[in-house]
Amino acid sequence: MVSGSLKIPVIWEANVADNTKMPVILFSHGFGASRFICSTLCYELASQGFLVASVEHRDTSACASYYYESEEACAQDKKTWVYHEYMDLSNMGPEHYNVRNKQIKLRRTECINALNVLEEINNGTAHNILPCKLSLSQFKVRVLRVVL
C-alpha cells in the first residue's frame, strides 16, 4: 500500500491559456464509479486542451454522490447525498432490466442537461452557483463543437 500526499499539476481556477476553440469531452463514469474516481483522467484530458464536462450520475449506481438543493444550501455547504444501491448480479431477470433501463434513461437526461449547460456557457448565459473565482465568461464562444 502506498500512502502520502498526491499532487496533480494543475492551477486551481486559472484562466484559460488562450482564445482558441476547445473540443468538448462529455465524460460519463461507469457503474459503481464517480466523478471523483475519474478526476485524474479528466484533469489529463483538460491539460491537453479539451473542455471536459464530467457528469455525476445520481441514478444510485455511483458509489456516492451529492448535490445542493438550492443556492442557499450551496452557500451553507448543505449537501444532499445519494448513495449506491446494491444490485444482486446473480439475479438478471426482468426486474434487473427494469432498474438498469431506468438508470440509463436518467443518465441520458443528465448528459443532455450537461450539454445544455455547455451551450449556455458557450453563449455566455450560464450562471455559476459554485463559490469560486473562475469566470465562466472566458469560455464564451470557445466550444469547438459537440458531436453526439
- Write out pLDDT tens, residues 124-133: 888 877 767 7
H or E element, residue 77 = none
Q: Which phi-psi region, left, alpha or beta, contains residue 32 (left: φ > 0; alpha: ψ -120 to 50)?
A: left
Contacts of 80 (CB under 8 A, 6+ apart): 66, 67, 68, 69, 73
Q: Across the chain, which distance is largest between two alpha carbons, in Å?
A: 52
Distances (CA, A) of 61 to 46, 88, 100, 110: 25, 12, 9, 13
As a whole number, the mean pLDDT across the chain is 81
Strands 80-83 and 64-67: antiparallel
Give yes or no for a contact between 51 and 25, defined as CB atoms under 8 angstroms apart. yes
Cα gap 7→109, rounded to integer Å? 34
pTM over 0.75: no
- Is the pLDDT at 112 greater than 90? The verdict is yes
User: What is the pLDDT at residue 108?
Assistant: 92
User: What is the pLDDT at residue 48?
Assistant: 86
Q: For 57-76, what is each residue's pLDDT tens digit?
A: 888 887 788 888 988 998 89
Give yes or no for a contact between 84 and 60, defined as CB atoms under 8 angstroms apart. yes
